[in-house]
Structure 1
Amino acid sequence: MSVTVYSKPSCVQCNATYRALTKKGIEYSVVDVTEDEAALAHVLALGYQQVPVVETSTEHWSGYRPDKITSLAVLLSA
């Protein structure tokens, strides 16, 4: 399952999300919405106005969500 984190520079919640994903051993890719207009349009189309936005093949969410990251880690380890 691919995990993408849409972010921007100097984003405290983005950095917390990266740390939590790494701590749980979840591989992810980062897309900077300030440098990728298509990615920004995608995030807006999902209904989000702030980053980070985490997207997997089955769900997406906005903000630093340790509960979602833990659930994702459990799902990936099954």
Structure 2
Amino acid sequence: MVTVYTTGPGCIRCKMTKDVMTKRGVEFVEVDIRQNAAAREYVTEELGYSEAPVCVVEDGTGEDHWSGFRPDNISRLAALANGGE
């Protein structure tokens, strides 16, 4: 599972990330950091990001995350989600 932290509908990179994930079959949960103070603190303080979207892969390591529109990372996740296609 992937969590996509966004800054709402006005964020073009957030929309592109969500659209490509949906198209490629990557399941995700969206969290709007403008509406969720704890999520905003997690993204900015714990992960150290200042730009949205921030994508966190829930793989148990806590190490797989990135900021911005990253088609390369989405493709990697899509390959995993689709059995290595």
Superposition CA RMSD, Å: 0.9
Corresponding residue of 1:54: 55
Q: Give the Cα separation in 1 of the matches to 2:80 and 2:48.
A: 25
Q: TM-score, normalised to structure 2's length? A: 0.86
Measure, in 2, the Cα distance between the counterparts of 1:7 and 1:20.
15
Kindly tell me the number of residue pairs found equivalent between the two proteins.
77
Q: Which amino acid aligns with 2:71?
A: P
Structure 2 segments unaligned to the other structure (5+ residues)? none
Structure 1 gap segments, 5+ residues each? none
Residues 1-78 of structure 1: matches in 2 within 5 Å?
2-9=1-8, 10-44=10-44, 45-58=46-59, 59-78=64-83
> Does the CA contact (< 8 Å) of 2:56 and 2:65 recur in 1?
yes
Between the aligned residues of both structures, percent identity stands at 42
Counterpart of 1:50 in structure 2: which amino acid?
E
Q: TM-score, normalised on structure 1?
A: 0.93
Could you list the structure 1 runs, at least 4 aligned residues long, displaced by more than 6 angstroms after superposition.
Answer: none
Q: Distance in 2 between matches of 1:21 and 1:56?
A: 13
Alpha-carbon distance between aligned partners in 1 of 2:80 and 2:49, rounded to the nearest angstrom: 24
Cα offset, 1:15, TM superposition: 0.3
Residues of 2 paired with 1:76 and 1:14: CA distance? 20
